[in-house]
Amino acid sequence: MKRILILLVSFPMTFSVKAQDSTLDSIDPALKIYRASFPHINDLVHTKLNVRFDYTKSYMYGKAWITVHPHFYPTDSLSLDAKGMDIKTVSMNKENQQIPLKYNYDGSTLRIHLDKTYRYIENYTIYIDYTSRPNEVKAQGSAAITDAKGLYFINPLGTEKDKPTQIWTQGETESNSVWFPTIDKPDQKCTEEISMTVPAKYVTLSNGKLVSQVKNTDGTRTDNWKMDLPHSPYLFFMGVGDYAIVHDKYKGKEVNYYVEKEYASVAKRIFGLTPEMMAFYARILGFEYPWVKYSQMTARDYVSGAMENTTSTLHTDALQQDARQLTDGNKYEDYICHELFHQWFGDLVTTESWSNLTLNESFANFSETLWAEYKHGKDAGDATNFHDIEKYLADPKNPSKNLVRFYYRDREDMFDMVTYSKGGRILNMLRNYIGDSAFFKALNLYLVNFKFKNAEAHNLRMAFEQVTGQDLNWYWNQWYFGSGHPVFDISYSYDDAKKMAKVVIRQVQGTGKIFRIPMAIDVYEGGSKTRHKIWLENESDSFYFNYNKRPDLINVDGDKIILCQKEDHKTLDNFIYQYKHARLYLDRREAIDYCSEHQDEPAARALLTLALKDPYFELRSLTMNALDLDKPEIKTAVEPVLLDLAKNDPDRTVQGNAIGILGTFKKEEYKDLFLKKTTDSSYTVAGNALYALSAVDEPQAYQLAKEFYQHPAKGELNAAIVAVFIKEGDESNFDFIIDGFTKMPELSLEKVETFPQFAALTLKMQNTDQFKRAIDAIVKYRDALPSTEKGEISKLINENFLKPIGDRKEAAGLKDQAEYVRSKLN
């Protein structure tokens, strides 16, 4: 599963280096429950389903044949998860006769009394006739899983304008038992076949192979899907809708993209790297893509980012970017490789329990680094690494959590940035420590040993130990079964008389836990680099290096690989040297950050001017945004460079960014450039240009915004249109503004960016009716967030926006408006 993280890192949040609090969660009684593996009494063997859908009631009528056998001990009963169903028949076929079986059903578990005691060598098949009622399922457990319907009917009656009718399922974690009775645990695996009867105008998607399609006389069609390799129930999938299927291929296997029809022409620009990704992963793993086909489908109103259902990935419809959006590159390439890598890590070898979710999600997260590095270069790979560290650090609760956790409030809580971002970095550090060839050989061994089975973190360790011949318990204990990360304080001193440098690395995390870290220290002297491999093992470690001439730079963590925070007491000259000679993404980024904070120094300013032409686009934008343009000497120095970037940068996001900054100069002479760029094919460039234009010629920008508004504009252009309307400050534009804001996809970056402006406008609004509509739009945004994001973001929106708006309205004597806001605070 892929969470939508962009929001979490985009909202302003503060996080300062402080002692990691390991007592944060210790008070919650739910955290005292040991989450044991689910006991195996019976094991699934095969699941056969016949289903048809009632769009009027949002029901599914199902017939299931569940084949199982006792796990080891003889048993005369079978418990199946079956959430919120109406159970009609439970029976068993005996000598060609259907024998009804006694059962108890409490709305979530179906307890069946078998006709006799079975032994583990005996398979038996239970037949169940049932109705699945996903909208009537009582939410179980915590608020985090209110979206656990399993089966979703989207616009089933066709009453919502501009929204297609779709059916799709979302099983992880244990929600597929809403639509078929099963043992809904990740450590069960079985083969399956599903017959879906649907209106003939729709297409279907499910796991495995489409073996036949039969037209029925009543305007329906029955599609028979067969999956003849075992996988876990949470990975079962059905999708139904009016999609275009765009065909692709990988080594003779079908690769299909299911998109809404208007996106058929761009489907290959969105998904077309899939075969190359399959080839890349198969090659590095030494393990061929294991399944019969690979399809990807988009979903409206999806409750997560994406889900790796075996052979049938489901993505949020945000992936459906139009040709102009794609001018900036596919913003969702990481989703595509993440879910694909799960086909090996998660689907082929599956976590034994949610406690070991790292075996699914850390790998999928790490695959984003592997792909970025392979396809877009070392900088791109390193950038994913750095951003994941940021995501992990963004939540101050994360450092107190173990990666493998047997105590958690709710299994959904396992899907956090410890499991994803930190887990991915732990794999990346391990790869660096043991080397690529040993790393991938161990992954291959792990896949070979556990294919079509389940594993826990120790199984992974043993594969690495077998390949490397080393004991790795220390690594697993520290990173998998432990919490936190090192916080370094690094200082340098030089004794020119003795010609000796001293580096002191102190671990100041203040948790009492001291990390054992292998790392490289590079000493740059007289134009050449000498690498020293060292170990950190103490609260304070000192290292001594001889020199002839005082080194230009001592670069601790030369590979910039360690998951850490640090205070690195280098000089400005060290950082400038680092930018020019160490050259990794993070080497350069650290130098840019340091120089950004020392813009009074001419040498720092010179470095920033140089970094505006950094080979990696993101660092060009980082530098640009860090410039202190209130300083005339900086403004004068960088203006020609910014102008060049605004005109010519090969990356459209950098171009757009430079245009946006030039706009703040409010110079008439740039007007023609802005005007010309408003028609750029990239929404980012056009949007920034429109907003920049509004700084030099507001009436013309307003006029253009009204023109552009007539065509469907997305992304930054839509955001700019809304922003120009807001800037115009005329409440008569309110309908445009609210419409533009509402039509931004809930989880899009432009909505995140526009949101504060929209909230600011809402605050100014006098007309109570319009004010309420604006508040409704904010509340709709807040409440449409998927459950995985909802908790944190809702709180931010309530506390940072809604509550202050209410307070200000109260203070202004607008009781009615204040009251309205308060009623929405839940």
- Measured in whole angstroms, how far is the alpha carbon of residue 210 from the centre of its chain? 30
- Type of residue numbered 501: A
Shortest gap between Cβ of 355 and Zn ion (angstroms)?
A: 16
List b or e across 184-219, with b for residues whose CB sees 16 or more CB atoms inside 10 angstroms.
bbbbbbbbbbbbbbbeeebbbbbbbbbeeeeeeeee
Which 3 state secondary structure label does DSSP give 414?
helix
Shortest Å distance, C-beta 305 to Zn ion: 8
8 A C-beta contact, residue 400 and residue 22 = yes
Question: Least separation, in Å, of the C-beta of 162 and Zn ion?
Answer: 30
Q: Does 307 bind Zn ion (CB under 5 A)?
A: no
Range 153-182, binding Zn ion (CB under 5 A)? none
Check: CB of residue 155 under 8 Å from CB of residue 119.
no
Cβ proximity to Zn ion: between 197 and 788 the closer is 788
Minimum distance from residue 314 beta carbon to Zn ion (Å): 12
Q: How far is the CB of 250 from Zn ion (least distance, A)?
A: 21
Of 60 and 235, nearer to Zn ion (C-beta) is 235
Task: Provide the token pair at 668.
Answer: 């008439």
User: Residue 2 Cβ, how far from Zn ion at the closest point, in Å?
Assistant: 5
297 vs 774, beta carbon nearer Zn ion:
297
Residue whose structure tokens are 């979710």: 357
Q: Which residues, numbered 322-361, are part of the site for Zn ion (CB under 5 A)?
A: 361
Residue 420 or 736 having the CB closest to Zn ion:
420
CA–CA distance, 627 with 624 (Å, rounded to integer): 6
649 burial type by CB count under 10 A (0-12 exposed, 13-18 middle, 19+ buried): buried
Instruction: Compute the distance between CA of residue 551 and CA of residue 59 in angstroms, rounded to an integer.
Output: 73
Amino acid identity for residue 399 in this structure: P
- Least distance to Zn ion from the beta carbon of 313, Å? 10
Please give the size of the binding site for Zn ion, defined by CB under 5 A.
Answer: 4
Please report how close the Cβ of residue 149 comes to Zn ion at its closest, in angstroms.
20
Give Cα 770 to chain centroid, integer Å. 35
CB of 306 to Zn ion, least distance (A): 7
Q: Which is nearer to Zn ion, 308 or 649 (CB)?
A: 308
Stretch that binds Zn ion, among 1-9, 80-88, 571-579, 689-697 (CB under 5 A): 1-9
Considering beta carbons, is residue 2 or 401 the nearer one to Zn ion?
2
Q: Does 1 bind Zn ion (CB under 5 A)?
A: yes
In degrees, to the nearest 5, what angle opens at C-alpha 675 toward C-alphas 672 and 679? 140
Please give the angle made by the CA atoms of 517, 523 and 524, to the nearest 5 degrees.
Answer: 145
Residues 6+ apart with CB under 8 A from 10: 749, 752, 753
The SS3 assignment for 511 reads coil
Q: How far is the CB of 360 from Zn ion (least distance, A)?
A: 6
Q: Which is nearer to Zn ion, 2 or 677 (CB)?
A: 2
Instruction: Please tell me the distance from the alpha carbon of residue 657 to that of residue 691, in angstroms, as a whole number.
Output: 11
- Is 414 among the residues that bind Zn ion (CB under 5 A)? no
Closer residue to Zn ion, CB minimum distance, 345 or 725: 345
Q: Which is nearer to Zn ion, 339 or 753 (CB)?
A: 339
CB of 347 to Zn ion, least distance (A): 11
Residue 148, phi then psi, degrees to nearest 5? -85, 55
Cα separation, 18 vs 141, in Å, equals 33
Provide, rounded to whole angstroms, the least separation between the CB of residue 555 and Zn ion: 34
The label of the residue with tokens 């067969």 reads 226
Q: Which is nearer to Zn ion, 59 or 234 (CB)?
A: 234
User: Radius of gyration over alpha carbons of the chain, in Å?
Assistant: 29
Sheet with 166-169, edge to edge strand ranges? 151-154, 166-169, 238-241, 203-206
Nearest to Zn ion of 147, 361 (CB atom): 361
- CB nearest Zn ion: which residue? 364
Residue at 522: amino acid letter:
D
Shortest Å distance, C-beta 338 to Zn ion: 5
In this complex, which beta carbon is closest to Zn ion, that of residue 337 or of residue 604? 337
Considering the complex, what minimum distance in angstroms separates the CB of residue 1 from Zn ion?
A: 4
- Number of Cβ within 10 Å of residue 56's Cβ equals 9
For residues 601 and 404, give the distance between their C-alpha atoms in angstroms, rounded to a whole number.
47
Taking the complex as a whole, how short is the minimal distance between the CB of residue 415 and Zn ion, in angstroms?
A: 8
Question: Is 169 within 8 Å of 239 (Cβ atoms)?
Answer: yes
DSSP structural state of residue 200: T
Q: How far is CA 391 from the centre of its chain?
A: 10
Integer Cα distance of 475 and 384 in angstroms: 23
Question: Which residue number, 361 or 568, has a Cβ lying nearer to Zn ion?
Answer: 361
Work out how close the CB of 337 gets to Zn ion at its nearest, in angstroms, rounded to a whole number: 11
The answer to whether residues 136 and 120 touch, using CB atoms and an 8 Å cutoff, is no
Give whole-number Cα distances, 636 to 92, 594, 605, 667, in Å: 84, 21, 11, 13
Nearer to Zn ion, 1 or 627 (CB): 1
Q: Least Å distance between CB 307 and Zn ion?
A: 8
Nearer to Zn ion, 1 or 785 (CB): 1
What's the chain's length in residues? Answer: 826
Rounded to whole angstroms, how far apart are CA atoms 342 and 235? 11
Query: Both tokens of residue 6?
Result: 């962009």
* Nearer CB in complex with Zn ion: 361/753: 361
Cα separation values, 460 from 61, 253, 448, Å: 41, 29, 12
Considering the rule CB under 5 A, would residue 364 count as an interface residue with Zn ion?
yes
State the Cα–Cα distance between residues 483 and 543, nearest whole angstrom.
27
Of 346 and 806, which has the nearer Cβ to Zn ion? 346
* 235 sits near Zn ion (criterion: CB under 5 A): no
Task: Select 191 or 419, whichever has its Cβ closest to Zn ion.
Answer: 419
Q: Is the preceding omega at residue 173 within 30 degrees of 0, hence cis?
A: yes
CB 794 within 8 A of CB 802: no
Task: Tell me the closest approach of the beta carbon of residue 341 to Zn ion, in angstroms.
Answer: 8
Residue whose tokens read 């060049």: 644
Residue 261 CA to its chain's centroid (Å): 26
Q: Residue type for 721, please? A: I
Site of interaction with Zn ion (CB under 5 A): 1-2, 361, 364
